[in-house]
């Protein structure tokens, strides 16, 4: 890799041991992917919560802080493991909260911002077109690339910390024009009508394209999607397919035309989304029993619009006493929901809004044991995908059906 | 000893290691598939369900899913539950970042396709810098020593 004078200085240890170590890791990753240079980034979104990091990851970050690590670009945190107001009543172990406190102190010491959101682009605002980023949450990365036209690879745990310490990343993958162009054409003939339908579309495509280096191009979309629809599509494609980029012709900024989306190359293959495909996608999540143990909204974090919609659906309703209803969002959005009275409506119905957390990193095994949870109903296809590894029976359904399930305590037919 | 089957590619990350192959026709993610407390595949529909990846050369077509894998390998290694090496058809950034941090050997884009030619139980030697993988097939029982 060609390094600038500044990068050579970092490599020589003149910006301290943490930055030197970080750059060495970045060079190894860059070499693997054939990067020829580094590219400066404007921000990092840090992925690493104690649940994901484990004790070894925490010790790694503690070591960085002991050596005087300081972030050189704005660095925000991804979702965390506990909402300190709720974790006890939810049955999360005290030890998890303790680790969360430890990590927060470390990030603050390095100059990071405790945003604790996986939808940083809705909590703080989206990046600009062409901005180079070192973002870690896969759903945030694909949103930044596809919807905003910013540029980021999946900068996983240690990589997002490394980028925050050096202020740069290796230039490969989504930083290069060639990697951002479409590879597969998706002809949509089953129109998505709500945010979870966009998730279902993401499942349908993400199950077929399971490679970071593929880029679907959606055509045939009749109604332009809003930010929440794109959030669900992106997070689902990233989750099922490990994809970091997509285009929607006439909607996303690097796909004004089909030809632009593909960069003049022909698609390698075409995927047809025939009428009924979205319904069949929902039906592929098969309940083992009719009773619903827990209903969760908010992976990625809910926007204020989504909370308003849920509050309207729950207004005057009562959640079945044997069913847990949980919403997850960021602190800024929760504050807005409080101010608008939405929180009151949701709580009156028997739901709770947890701040800064995502369900799958909230000690889901311990919660399942404590509350006897097995069947989880959600309008988040991403959550439905992840939570199966934690011993749950995930049922992905449209938002309104999920609310019905919470109220009835049973999965509606 | 018979000559090993040789797979070649481009340079990977990590040191030279040897181990027993654990081959999956499906991709792998530490969050989506693994119980990280035990190092065993915990998603019931995964072809390796119930198998431990500890000490193995994990061979699969794709690196799946999100960022958790970037941390998971270091944590698994500290508890002696990590694979010694991973061979993918295609790796993604989070898997490579995790392998670099943990010092787990990783290679991808090998020829011939490792998922097609390596079988669970085969002895595998991975040399990432030389861009070379050697495979000794698991001993096939003959009629005389078979049970």
Cα angle value A47/A49/A55 (rounded, 5°): 120
Nearest chain A residue (CA) to B77:
A56
Q: What confidence score (pLDDT) does residue B30 get?
A: 80
Whether residue A28 lies within 8 A of chain B, CB to CB, comes out as yes
Phi, psi angle pair for A207, to nearest 5°:
-75, -25
Burial (CB count <10 Å: 0-12, 13-18, 19+), residue B78: middle
Among B40, B53, B89, B97, which would you mutate to test the A interface (most chain A Cβ atoms within 10 Å of its Cβ)? Answer: B97
Which ipTM did the prediction report? Answer: 0.92
Residues of chain B with Cβ-Cβ distance to A159 below 8 Å are 70, 93-94, 97
Backbone Cα Rg of chain B: 15
Residue A298 contacts B where some CB pair is shorter than 8 Å? no
Q: pLDDT-derived band of residue B141, with 50, 70 and 90 as boundaries?
A: low
pLDDT value of position B32: 77
Q: What is the mean pLDDT of chain A?
A: 97
Q: How far apart are CA A198 and CA A209, in angstroms?
A: 16
Neighbours of A63 (CB within 10 A): 14
In order, the DSSP letters of chain B are -PPPEEEE-S--BS--EEEEEEE-SS-B-TTTTEETTTTEE--TTSTTTT-B-TTEEEEEEEB-S-THHHHHHHHHHHTT-S-SEEEEEE--HHHHHHHHHHT-EEEES-BS-HHHH--TT-EEEEETTTTEEEEEPPPPP-TTT--
Would you place residue B139 in the very low, low, confident or very high pLDDT band (cuts 50, 70, 90)? confident
At A208, is the secondary structure helix, strand, or coil?
Answer: coil
Residue B67 has pLDDT above 90, yes or no: no
What is chain A's length? 413
> Are the beta carbons of A47 and B70 separated by less than 8 Å?
yes
Cβ-based neighbour number of residue A285 at 10 Å? 19
Question: Of A52 and A83, which is predicted with more confidence?
Answer: A83
* Model confidence band, residue B45 (pLDDT cutoffs 50, 70, 90): confident
The stretches of A45-93 forming alpha helices (DSSP H) are: 50-66, 87-90
Nearest residue, CB atoms, A54 vs list B43, B71, B96: B71
Over residues A231-242, the pLDDT tens digits come to 999 999 999 999
- Tell me the pLDDT tens digit for each residue of A58-74: 999 999 999 999 999 99
Of residues B69 and A271, more confidence is placed in A271
For residues A219 and A255, the answer to whether their CB atoms sit within 8 Å is no
Query: What does the pLDDT look like over A89-117, one tens digit per residue?
Result: 999 999 999 999 999 999 999 999 999 99
Mean pLDDT calculated for residue range A350-360: 97
Instruction: Compute the distance between CA of residue A399 and CA of residue A194 in angstroms, rounded to an integer.
Output: 8
Mean pLDDT, residues A341-366 = 97
Q: Half-sphere exposure (CA, 13 Å, Cβ side) for B85? A: 28
Name which of A294-303, A351-360, B134-143 the model is least confident about: B134-143
pLDDT bucket at A278, cuts 50 / 70 / 90: very high
Q: Check B70 against A156: CB less than 8 A apart.
A: yes
What's the rounded Cα separation, in Å, for the pair A369 and A371? 6
User: Across the interface, do B66 and A154 touch by the CB < 8 Å criterion?
Assistant: yes
The DSSP-derived string for A131-189 is -B-EE--HHHHHHIIIII--B-----HHHHHHHHHHSEEE--GGGSHHHHS--EEEEE-
Round to whole Å and give the CA distance between A280 and B21: 37
Q: Report the gap between the CA of A239 and the closest CA in chain B (Å).
A: 5
Q: Are B83 and B53 in contact (CB under 8 A)?
A: yes
Res B120 pLDDT > 60: yes
Give B-chain residues touching A212 at CB under 8 angstroms: 63, 90, 92-93
- At residue A229, the pLDDT reads 98
- Name the least confident of A54-58, A349-353, B38-42: B38-42
Check CB contact under 8 Å for A32 and B42.
no
Contact B65 A242 (CB under 8 A): yes
Nearest to A186 by CA among A214, A212, A153: A214
Nearest-Cα residue of chain A relative to residue B71: A53
> Scanning every residue of chain B, which has its alpha carbon at the shortest distance from the alpha carbon of A159?
B97
Q: Say how far apart CA B56 and CA B48 lie, in whole Å.
A: 13
A239 touches chain B (CB under 8 A): yes
Q: What pLDDT band is residue B103 in, cutting at 50, 70 and 90?
A: very high
DSSP labels, A264-301:
TPPPSEEEEE-TTHHHHHHHTS--SSSB--EEEEEEEE
When pLDDT is cut at 50, 70 and 90, the band that residue B36 belongs to is: confident
Strands B17-23 and B123-127: antiparallel
Of A153, A157, A388, the CB nearest to B71: A157
CB–CB of B63 and A212 under 8 A?
A: yes
Percent of chain A with pLDDT over 90: 97
Chain A, 55 to 84: residues with Cβ < 8 Å from chain B are 55-57, 60
Cβ(A214)–Cβ(A182) below 8 Å = no
User: Chain B: residue nearest A50 by CA?
Assistant: B71
Structure confidence by residue, pLDDT tens digits, A205-239:
999 999 999 999 999 999 999 999 999 999 999 99
Of the candidates A345, A324, A329, the residue with the CA atom closest to the CA atom of residue A402: A324
Asked if A138 has any chain B CB less than 8 Å from its own CB, the reply is yes
pLDDT of residue B65: 67
Choose from A18, A50, A202, A212 for mutation: most chain B CBs within 10 A. A212
Pairwise CB contact (< 8 Å): A389 & B97 = no
Residue from A156, A176, A234, A380 whose CB has the most chain B CBs within 10 Å, to mutate: A156
Is A53 near chain B, with CB under 8 Å? yes
Q: How many residues does chain B have?
A: 147
Write the CB contacts of B31 (distance below 8 Å, at least 6 apart in sequence). Answer: A52, A360, A386, A389, B65, B66, B68, B69, B72
- Select from B66, B86, B89, B95 the residue whose CB has the most chain A CBs within 10 Å, as the one to mutate to test that interface: B66
Contact A271, A340 (CB under 8 A): no
A213: contact with B, CB 8 A cutoff: yes
Q: What is the pLDDT of residues A180-195, one digit of tens each?
A: 999 999 999 999 999 9
Query: Residue A156 is nearest to which of B79, B97, B106, comparing CB atoms?
Result: B97
Residue B68 or B118, more confident: B118
Q: Using 50, 70 and 90 to split pLDDT, how confident is the model at B1?
A: low
- Amino acid B144: pLDDT: 46
For residue B54, what pLDDT is reported?
A: 93
By Cβ distance, the residue of A29, A137, A210 closest to B67 is A137
The secondary element (H helix, E strand) that includes residue A406 is helix A399-408
CA distance A187 to chain B (A): 24
Quote the pLDDT of residue B146. Answer: 38
Instruction: Give pLDDT tens digits for A311-341.
Output: 999 999 999 999 999 999 999 999 999 999 9
Which chain B residues are closer than 8 Å to A391 by Cβ? 42
pTM of this prediction? 0.95
Apex B39 CA angle, A384 and A300, nearest 5: 25
Q: What percent of chain B has pLDDT over 90?
A: 69
Rounded Cα gap, residues A56 and A226, in angstroms: 40
């Amino acid at each position: 890799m060609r390094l600038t004078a500044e990068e050579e200085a970092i490599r020589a240890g003149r910006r301290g041991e943490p930055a030197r170590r970080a750059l060495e890791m970045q060079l190894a990753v860059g070499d693997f992917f054939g990067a020829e240079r580094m590219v400066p980034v404007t921000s990092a979104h840090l992925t690493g919560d104690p649940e994901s990091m484990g004790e070894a990851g925490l010790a790694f970050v503690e070591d960085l802080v002991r050596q005087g690590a300081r972030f050189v670009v704005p660095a925000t945190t991804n979702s965390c493991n506990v909402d300190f107001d709720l974790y006890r009543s939810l049955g999360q172990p005290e030890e998890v909260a303790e680790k969360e406190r430890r990590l927060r102190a470390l990030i603050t010491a390095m100059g990071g911002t405790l945003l604790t959101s996986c939808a940083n682009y809705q909590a703080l605002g989206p990046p600009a077109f062409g901005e180079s980023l070192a973002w870690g949450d896969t759903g945030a990365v694909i949103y930044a690339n596809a919807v905003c036209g910013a540029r980021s690879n999946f900068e996983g745990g240690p990589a997002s910390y490394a980028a925050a310490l050096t202020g740069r990343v290796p230039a490969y993958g989504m930083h290069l024009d060639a990697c951002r162009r479409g590879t597969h054409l998706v002809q949509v003939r089953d129109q998505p009508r709500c945010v979870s339908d966009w998730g279902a579309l993401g499942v349908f495509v993400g199950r077929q394209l399971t490679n970071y280096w593929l880029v679907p191009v959606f055509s045939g979309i009749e109604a332009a999607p809003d930010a929440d629809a794109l959030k669900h599509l992106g997070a689902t494609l990233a989750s099922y397919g490990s994809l970091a980029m997509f285009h929607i012709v006439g909607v996303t900024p690097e796909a004004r035309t089909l030809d632009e989306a593909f960069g003049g190359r022909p698609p390698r293959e075409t995927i047809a989304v025939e009428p009924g495909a979205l319904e069949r996608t929902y039906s592929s999540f098969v309940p083992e029993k009719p009773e619903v143990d827990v209903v969760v909204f908010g992976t990625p974090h809910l926007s204020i619009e989504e909370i308003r919609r849920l509050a309207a659906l729950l207004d005057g309703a009562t959640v079945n006493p044997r069913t847990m209803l949980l919403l997850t969002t960021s602190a800024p959005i929760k504050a807005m929901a409080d101010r608008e009275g939405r929180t009151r409506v949701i709580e009156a119905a028997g739901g709770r809004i947890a701040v800064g957390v995502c369900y799958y990193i909230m000690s889901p095994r311990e919660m399942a044991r404590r509350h006897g949870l097995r069947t989880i109903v959600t309008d988040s296809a991403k959550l439905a995908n992840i939570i199966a590894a934690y011993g749950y029976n995930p049922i992905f359904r449209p938002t309104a059906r999920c609310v019905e399930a919470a109220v009835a305590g049973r999965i509606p037919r | 000893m018979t000559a090993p089957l040789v797979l070649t590619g481009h340079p990977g990350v990590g040191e030279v290691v040897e181990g027993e192959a654990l081959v999956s026709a499906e991709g792998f993610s530490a969050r989506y598939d693994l119980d990280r407390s035990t190092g065993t595949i915990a998603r019931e529909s995964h072809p390796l369900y119930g198998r431990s990846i500890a000490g193995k050369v994990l061979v699969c077509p794709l690196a799946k899913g999100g960022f958790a894998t970037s941390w998971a390998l270091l944590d698994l290694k500290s508890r002696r539950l990590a694979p010694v090496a991973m061979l993918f058809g295609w790796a993604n950034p989070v898997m490579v970042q995790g392998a670099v941090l943990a010092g787990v050997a990783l290679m991808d884009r090998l020829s011939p396709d490792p998922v097609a030619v390596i079988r669970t139980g085969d002895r595998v030697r991975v040399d990432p810098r030389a861009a070379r993988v050697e495979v000794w097939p698991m001993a096939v029982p003959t009629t005389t020593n078979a049970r």
